[in-house]
């Protein structure tokens, strides 16, 4: 039915909202090293990043040179430590004894930025013509890193994903095949990148800034804008109007323009800066009450992103201690880790939203590369420790704070979880050991104990302090050395440090294959009491402690 002729049209009110995005880092323009006239008679270093069979692909590159350009002297070397470590000694060696370098393979969300960063370092600090070799999955990631490093056209060549577990024939096919991004032969691109003058191709970076407000619009238009710009967690938000942000800011004595910290989705991607006001904007969007704001500011001050771009799909976990728990009505009892408390839920959501927005984004395939994703990222598993029902001192006191201090403790990982019910009389030690073996080896076990189970650990094992329980966990979590060192995660992240002589890893690496060795480092094991005593269920979460920050400093 048509509207009556002459009926008044509905005028929708325009709203002004704050922009939730942080401030990008300043980019210092850099220059590529001079290229070689030709490769004949030159020495090229192939630098293995030490991640998931990278060296196997570089062996095929080495073979290609032997077959097609035998006059080129090729040296295959590996980084001294894990892929994220800046190997200045190796760069100096290449500078002294080589003419160019090929580094790779960047084929994960953290090693790809590291490979690009190492290539930029060799180009700009050591004057070494360098090609970074990545898999095509990380094209946008690699480009964003070199752009933020001030070298947007750093030579980058791609092979198919994955590299891990591929046969020699398949990897040879990668090297002799086409770059999936450009469609050009891989080795031709590598040779041209080392010998062609690229100075004229470098693009000037445009100065970037973040406006304080977005363009005004109706409520519907602004909701669509925030969703389209990937500023939400895909759930409805509260629009951050001037009035709402002002109310949030009134809950702290800190000035709105005070810089809270700098954050990035992963190492080498560029640290974005953010102010108290930017944190307030995201807190409003999450639906948090102003009285929660000091807790949210403390989380932002940790500079630990809850939206880290790890292909392993990690998530943050937040444990709150001290008087602030009761002041704002946080839950530490029944349902504390679930969606049953407004403070728990919105503080955790605010932490996630501020992380993705103030660090410049969290977009799958671009600034987030978690292969499977993690549902824990919706609220960062945020809860209060049940200090009143715990038989031990609370977590923040262990971390050096006073009982009367209010503190947020940030963990990251949450990719592995095991759970049990209480402790049996006869085989409880063995049951705990079985649970610990299921925790991923590169994080650390965090025991999340209902008060019933906490008291059982005292009754069964005499662990009248968290320190005694942690020592038991450390001594119980053991694995045959051969099996331990063969795990891919251990090879990627732990074994490189053992080869550098880092103790106790270096000593453990010398153990016989059937000798039992500890799986974790004792200082990284944690115990938290949470739950309402509905039963003695408990969990072990693979979650590493990353920061403890005073809430009182942000009131």
Domains of the chain: 43-201 (3.40.50.10350), 219-414+546-554 (no CATH)
Residue whose C-alpha is closest to residue 36's, from 80, 86, 77, 72: 72
Spatial distance between the Cα atoms of 309 and 401, rounded to a whole number of angstroms: 31
Is the preceding omega at residue 108 within 30 degrees of 0, hence cis?
A: no
Helix axes 466-476, 428-437, angle to 10 degrees: 70
Order the strands of the 315-321 sheet from edge to edge. 382-384, 315-321, 407-421, 537-550, 445-449, 526-529
At 541, phi and psi to the nearest 5? -105, 135
Spatial distance between the Cα atoms of 423 and 455, rounded to a whole number of angstroms: 10
Residue 1: per-residue pLDDT: 41
Residue 492: per-residue pLDDT: 86
Residue 49: per-residue pLDDT: 92
Residues 223, 229, 233, 234: is their CA dihedral positive or negative?
positive
Residue reference for tokens 């039915």: 1
Residue 6: per-residue pLDDT: 54
State how beta strands 272-275 and 259-263 pair. antiparallel
Q: Is the pLDDT of residue 101 over 70?
A: yes
Residue reference for tokens 């008291």: 455
Structure tokens belonging to residue 11: 């005028």
* Average pLDDT estimate for 217-230: 96
DSSP track, 451-463: HHHHHHHHHHH--
Residues in a beta bridge with 334: none
pLDDT-derived band of residue 432, with 50, 70 and 90 as boundaries? very high
Residue whose C-alpha is closest to residue 362's, from 319, 317, 316, 320: 316
pTM of the model: 0.90
**Run of H or E residues at 272:** strand 272-275
State how beta strands 315-321 and 407-421 pair. antiparallel
Residue whose C-alpha is closest to residue 327's, from 552, 83, 17: 552
pLDDT-derived band of residue 309, with 50, 70 and 90 as boundaries? confident
* Average pLDDT estimate for 512-541: 95
Residue reference for tokens 């220059």: 31
Structure tokens belonging to residue 423: 């402790």
Q: What is the DSSP letter of 136?
A: G
- What contacts 61, CB < 8 A, 6 or more positions away? 46, 74, 102, 133, 175, 187, 190
Average pLDDT value over all residues in the chain: 92
CB-based contact 414:313 (threshold 8 Å): no
Residue whose C-alpha is closest to residue 358's, from 268, 288, 259, 292: 259
Spatial distance between the Cα atoms of 103 and 51, rounded to a whole number of angstroms: 12
Residues in a beta bridge with 74: 44
DSSP track, 302-355: TT--TT---TT--EEEEEEESTHHHHTT---STTTTTT--HHHHHHHHHHHHHH
**Residues making up the chain, counted from first to last:** 555
Q: Is the pLDDT of residue 10 over 70?
A: no
Tens digit of pLDDT for each residue in 191-216? 999 998 866 555 555 456 899 999 99
Q: What share of the chain is helix, strand, coil (3-state, %, to 5)?
A: 35, 20, 45
Residue whose C-alpha is closest to residue 250's, from 207, 196, 291, 216: 291
DSSP track, 20-62: ---BPPPPPP--PPPPPS--TT-EEEEEE--STTHHHHHHHHH
Spatial distance between the Cα atoms of 446 and 112, rounded to a whole number of angstroms: 29
Residues 434, 438, 441, 447: is their CA dihedral positive or negative?
negative
Q: Does residue 450 come out as left (phi exceeding 0), alpha (psi in the -120 to 50 range) or beta?
A: beta
pLDDT-derived band of residue 8, with 50, 70 and 90 as boundaries? low
Q: Is the pLDDT of residue 65 over 90?
A: yes
Tens digit of pLDDT for each residue in 149-174? 899 989 999 999 999 999 999 999 99
């Amino acid at each position: 039915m048509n509207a009556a002729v002459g009926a008044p049209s509905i005028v929708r009110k325009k709203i002004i909202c704050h922009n939730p995005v942080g401030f990008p880092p300043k980019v210092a323009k850099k220059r590529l090293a001079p290229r070689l006239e030709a490769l004949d008679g030159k020495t090229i270093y192939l630098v293995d990043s030490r991640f998931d069979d990278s060296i196997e692909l570089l062996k095929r590159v080495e073979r290609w040179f032997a077959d097609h350009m035998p006059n080129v002297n090729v040296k295959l070397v590996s980084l001294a430590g894990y892929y994220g470590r800046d190997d200045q000694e190796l760069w100096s060696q290449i500078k002294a004894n080589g003419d160019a370098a090929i580094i790779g393979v960047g084929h994960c969300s953290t090693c790809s930025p590291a490979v690009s960063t190492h290539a930029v370092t060799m180009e700009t600090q050591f004057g070494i013509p360098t090609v970074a070799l990545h898999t095509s999955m990380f094209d946008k990631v690699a480009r964003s890193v070199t752009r933020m490093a001030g070298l947007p056209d750093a030579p980058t060549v791609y092979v198919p994903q994955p590299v891990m577990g591929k046969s020699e024939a398949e990897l040879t096919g990668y090297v002799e095949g086409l770059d999936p991004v450009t469609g050009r032969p891989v080795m031709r691109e590598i040779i041209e990148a080392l010998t062609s003058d690229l100075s004229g191709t470098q693009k000037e970076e445009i100065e970037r800034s973040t406006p304080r407000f977005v363009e005004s619009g109706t409520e519907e238009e602004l909701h669509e804008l925030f969703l389209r710009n990937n500023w939400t967690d895909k759930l409805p938000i509260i629009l951050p109007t001037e009035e709402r942000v002002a109310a949030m800011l009134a809950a702290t004595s800190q000035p709105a323009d005070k810089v809270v910290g700098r954050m990035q989705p992963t190492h080498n991607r560029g640290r974005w800066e953010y102010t108290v006001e930017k944190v307030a904007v995201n807190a409003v969007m999450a639906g948090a009450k102003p009285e929660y704001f000091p807790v949210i500011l403390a989380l932002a001050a940790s500079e630990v992103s809850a939206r880290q771009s790890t292909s392993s799909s990690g998530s943050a976990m937040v444990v709150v201690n001290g008087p602030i728990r009761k002041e704002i009505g946080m839950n530490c009892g029944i349902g504390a880790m679930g969606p049953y408390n407004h403070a728990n839920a919105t503080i955790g959501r605010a932490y996630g939203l501020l992380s993705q927005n103030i660090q410049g984004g969290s977009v799958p395939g671009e600034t987030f590369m978690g292969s499977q994703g993690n549902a824990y990222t919706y609220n960062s598993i945020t809860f209060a420790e049940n200090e009143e029902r715990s038989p031990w001192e609370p977590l923040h006191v262990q971390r050096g704070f006073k009982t009367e201090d209010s503190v947020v403790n940030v963990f990251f990982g949450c990719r592995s979880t095991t759970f049990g019910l209480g402790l049996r009389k006869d085989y409880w030690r063995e049951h705990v050991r079985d649970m610990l073996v299921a925790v991923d080896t590169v994080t650390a076990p965090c025991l999340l104990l209902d008060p019933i189970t906490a008291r059982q650990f005292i009754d069964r094992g005499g662990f009248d302090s968290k320190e005694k329980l942690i020592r038991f966990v450390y001594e119980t979590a053991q694995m045959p050395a051969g099996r331990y060192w063969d795990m891919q995660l251990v090879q990627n992240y732990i074994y490189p440090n053992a080869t550098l002589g880092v103790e106790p890893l270096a000593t453990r690496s010398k153990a016989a294959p059937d000798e039992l060795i500890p799986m974790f480092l004792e200082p990284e094991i944690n115990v938290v009491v949470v739950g309402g005593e509905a039963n003695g269920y408990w969990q072990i979460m693979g979650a590493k402690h990353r920061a403890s920050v005073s809430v009182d400093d942000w009131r």
